[in-house]
Amino acid sequence: MNNVSVLHQVLNGEADTSKLAKGNYDWLLSEYREPIWKIQDPGNLSSPIVGTINFDGPLIGGGRLIDIEGLVDDLKRSLVFAVEFSAFKDQVKIRSCSAMRNHVYILKRVFNEIYDMQGCRWDRWLEKDRQVLVERLKYKPSISQNYLPRLTVYIENVGIENLPVRKYKGSVKINYDAVFGEIGIDYYQLRGDLEIQKYLDEVCVRYNKQSISTKLKRGERALQMNSSGTTLSRDRYEDVLRAVKLYQAQTSLMPDQYVNASRLKLVYDASSTLRSSNLKPSNPSRTRNIPVPVFLHLVDASIRYILDYADTLFEIEDKLALEHKKLTLQTNSYEAGKIVNAYARELGEVKEGRYSPFPLAAYKHFQIREKNISDEDLSIFHDMVNSGLGRAEIRKILGLSKGQYDYRSKVMRNIQPYGKNLPHKGISLQKALYQFLPLSCLIVIFAFSARRESEVFGMRENCYQKFQDGWRVKFYVAKSLRRHEWFTSVPVVIKAIKTLEALSEEGRKISRSDSLYRFNDTFNRSPINMDRLNIAMESFLDFIGVEKGEGGERFKFSEHQFRRFFAIMYFYRYEKQADLEALTYELRHEDWSNTAVYLTEQESGRIFREVEKEYMAEKLVGTLGAESEPRGVLRDLSERIKQTVDVVPENRSAIAMKYIEENSLRMDFISEGICFGNTPGRSELSRCYSDGYVMCHRSSPEVCTDCPNLLPIENIRNDKKVAAIQNLECDNASILDAAISYSNKVGEGVD
């Protein structure tokens, strides 16, 4: 289809527009008549990204959108013209799967609002309706469409005891799909509504109180529920207005082709409407303000987990899987599982170290089960057994089944069969291997490649290659270039990719896929997006010892966190040799101003200062503990610590951080360690001080030994080639240490 010529015919009334929207389009992978479309990137048909769009959906008050005459066809027609033609003023070109899906879903929401207002009776559309619609669209659907009142009225009228339930794997839950379908509300719009979630909790409690035989489980909910605000952000509201204006322009151009809202004014001036809305724009740093120490801790732990434990976990899996297979032939699967779990717990000495998952708690799944018998009941049982009463008598007196009697006997004797008394970390092999390990690989790839979520999760086997100038990895650039590109990389990323290849080898064979995220594990849940990553992140952060923030909440990790980390460390690594143009290319931004968002002077300066302070404090405290007669800065810090009442080891770093801040310590990396000579007030103390300057470039054992401004670091001093932070190999440092340690280990290749 020649878009220009066809559009010219449309504008001049020469084309049969009824056929235009029913043609064959390269980006449409489904039949046009289907209610659910499978689509691909219209901007680049070679893109591996494929999406789906459901034109049907719940209709507020009960029913489906498909029940409104011609609405699904109108939505399809609007999407086709939005993708194929950019003919309208201020129209943003729709050139991606996400933009296509967003356009349709906004219109679905708009027609839900209109239907709730007046039932889509277009002959009765008035100016006041337009004003009401514009006002309603400012709010979240759960607010504008009164989800909570509708839900409350429905449940109270039906009666809690009469709510539909469904059973799955032994648990009983209220069938909310049926409930929401009766009301016509969209479940995805209320997942983050705290008030609705509280009400559903209350319904579950009330149901359990009224029912004797059936006990409900509430089911899983989102870990992070957003209860703040009832309105959309300014950015989102602008997207909504833009989609409505586009649909309005389309119906004005081709009124005979649209059934719903044809030629009607739904929105006038979008700009003035937006200005008068008083909505706040989205906070650009909402997902980027993780404290640097927390972020570095996470990435450092991920690198160490891959390098130190991946190979060992693979070996143990092979051994335990073989043992489980043999035992299953000799006994039942349940008993075999118990025995193999004991074998797993006996592997406590396999590999100790920082962030070690050993000793393992189980082979496959591990659960902590609470004792379900009170101490009082156990005491009564204990007295009866010791009094000489027989088993049958005790069961009769206490009304116990055979299993209940045996359970009490085991608890009373504190029997711990199958090695359950052995110490362990509370982590099964499956969790260590199929949750923590792929998560660690993803974190490393995100951090050192600066790629977006869809690009990382679109990785295939053999996506890396050794070129003359080093390793490169092939990613699909989803947002800007819309094609595959080779990106420079480092050995630790190649190690992470190879680890994912090993993890997914069996799963790829079974699924006949080349995706790196097809894992054949007992959890049967491959990480396919950032939401799944966040769920696994919770337990991983607990495992590596990252404390929760204020209010007991975690930071929300996103692709922007990793891209920002890459940008900051890029400038930290190359200092004056770095330039914004090169970084823009690495991030594959189309405009350098996009890159600048990651590197504002104020923000990057704060990041550098935080990283430096943490690093200095770590080295000062570590070196102080090994010095019998501290000198210079170490002596000052030692005196400061001695003056502090009730100092405990955990407080030393905090004291050091405060000392660094109060004295404005500045550090320079030299061949002998860290030099504090450029700190205000300390320059003249340096042995290399000359003509008003500290001559760091003259550093040598002869010049620097016994200098009060020198903090000796063995790892730096032992490598005379090292002259910058990226080559440090410090035992307790954060991310760069582990990464460079691995790079130095493998040399020219990756094991």
Q: List pLDDT tens digits, range 66-76.
A: 999 999 999 99
What is d(CA 517, CA 533) in angstroms, rounded to the nearest whole number?
12
Phi first, then psi: give them for residue 675, nearest 5 degrees.
-105, 130
Q: Are residues 107 and 180 in the same domain?
A: no
**pLDDT value of residue 341:** 83
Q: Are residues 61 and 157 in the same domain?
A: no
**pLDDT value of residue 506:** 87
**pLDDT value of residue 196:** 84
Higher pLDDT, 467 or 554: 467
Q: What is the pLDDT of residues 324-355, one digit of tens each?
A: 888 888 877 777 877 888 888 887 566 778 89
Q: Are residues 606 and 711 in the same domain?
A: yes
Q: Which residues contact 256 (CB under 8 A, 6 or more apart)?
A: 17, 18, 262
The model's confidence at residue 234, banded by pLDDT at 50, 70 and 90, is: confident
CB 208 within 8 A of CB 173: no
Name the helix (H) or strand (E) containing 658. Answer: helix 649-662
Residue 349 lies inside a defined structural domain of this protein: no
Residue 404 lies inside a defined structural domain of this protein: yes
Q: Are residues 55 and 157 in the same domain?
A: no
The model's confidence at residue 288, banded by pLDDT at 50, 70 and 90, is: very low
**pLDDT value of residue 294:** 77
The model's confidence at residue 171, banded by pLDDT at 50, 70 and 90, is: low
Q: Are residues 86 and 206 in the same domain?
A: no
What is d(CA 248, CA 262) in angstroms, rounded to the nearest whole number?
7
Q: Are residues 89 and 151 in the same domain?
A: no
Q: Is 85's pLDDT higher than 50?
A: yes
Calculate mean pLDDT across residues 193-209.
81
Query: Is residue 344 packed enough to be buried (19+ CB in 10 Å), middle (13-18) or exposed (0-12)?
Result: buried
Hunting for tokens 């990204």 — which residue is that? Answer: 49
Q: Are residues 651 and 690 in the same domain?
A: yes
The model's confidence at residue 20, banded by pLDDT at 50, 70 and 90, is: low
Q: Are residues 153 and 238 in the same domain?
A: no
Final residue of a structural domain among 367, 395, 413: 413
Q: Are residues 151 and 134 in the same domain?
A: no
Structure tokens at 705: 């030994």
**pLDDT value of residue 602:** 42
Of the candidates 73, 477, 502, the residue with the CA atom closest to the CA atom of residue 251: 73
CB 305 within 8 A of CB 437: yes
Residue 217 lies inside a defined structural domain of this protein: no
Residue 418 lies inside a defined structural domain of this protein: no
Per residue in 483-506, is it b (16+ CB within 10 Å) or e — as a string?
ebeebebbbbbbbbbbbbbebbee
CB 139 within 8 A of CB 230: yes
Residue 604 CB coordination number (10 Å): 16
The model's confidence at residue 104, banded by pLDDT at 50, 70 and 90, is: very high
Q: Are residues 123 and 159 in the same domain?
A: no
**pLDDT value of residue 35:** 93
**pLDDT value of residue 138:** 93
**pLDDT value of residue 310:** 94
Which residue type does 398 have? L
Higher pLDDT, 366 or 643: 643
Residue 47 CB coordination number (10 Å): 21
Q: Which domain holds residue 159?
A: 143-210
What's the number of CA atoms in the CB half-sphere (13 Å) around residue 574?
11
Residue 737 lies inside a defined structural domain of this protein: yes
**pLDDT value of residue 119:** 85
**pLDDT value of residue 604:** 45
CB 88 within 8 A of CB 36: no
Among 346-360, 507-521, 565-579, 730-744, where is mean pLDDT lowest? 730-744
Higher pLDDT, 646 or 252: 252
What is d(CA 596, CA 750) in angstroms, rounded to the nearest whole number?
34
Indicate the average pLDDT of the chain: 76
The model's confidence at residue 726, banded by pLDDT at 50, 70 and 90, is: very low
Q: Is 97's pLDDT higher than 80?
A: yes
Q: Is 721's pLDDT higher than 70?
A: no
Q: Is 292's pLDDT higher than 80?
A: no
The percentage of the chain sitting over the pLDDT mark of 90, rounded to a whole number, equals 18
Q: Is 707's pLDDT higher than 80?
A: yes
Higher pLDDT, 239 or 201: 239
Q: Are residues 267 and 176 in the same domain?
A: no
The model's confidence at residue 700, banded by pLDDT at 50, 70 and 90, is: confident
Q: Is 474's pLDDT higher than 60?
A: yes
**pLDDT value of residue 107:** 96
Residue 99 lies inside a defined structural domain of this protein: yes
Residue 688 lies inside a defined structural domain of this protein: yes
CB 601 within 8 A of CB 580: no
**pLDDT value of residue 198:** 83
The percentage of the chain sitting over the pLDDT mark of 70, rounded to a whole number, equals 71
Q: Is 217's pLDDT higher than 70?
A: no
**pLDDT value of residue 66:** 93
Phi first, then psi: give them for residue 668, nearest 5 degrees.
-130, 135
Hunting for tokens 């000052």 — which residue is that? Answer: 636
Q: Is the peptide bond before 291 cis (omega within 30 degrees of 0)?
A: no
The CA dihedral of 71, 77, 80, 81, to the nearest 10 degrees, is -120
Domain count along the chain: 4
**pLDDT value of residue 172:** 73
Q: Are residues 59 and 150 in the same domain?
A: no
Q: Is 442's pLDDT higher than 50?
A: yes
DSSP H helices, 222-332, are 234-253, 270-276, 292-330
Q: What is the pLDDT of residues 486-535, one digit of tens each?
A: 888 889 999 999 999 999 898 888 888 888 888 887 555 565 555 666 67
Higher pLDDT, 424 or 77: 77
What is d(CA 589, CA 583) in angstroms, rounded to the nearest whole number?
9
Q: Is 281's pLDDT higher than 80?
A: no
Residue 522 lies inside a defined structural domain of this protein: no
3-state helix, strand, coil in the chain (%, to 5): 55, 10, 40
Higher pLDDT, 593 or 155: 155
CB 719 within 8 A of CB 670: no
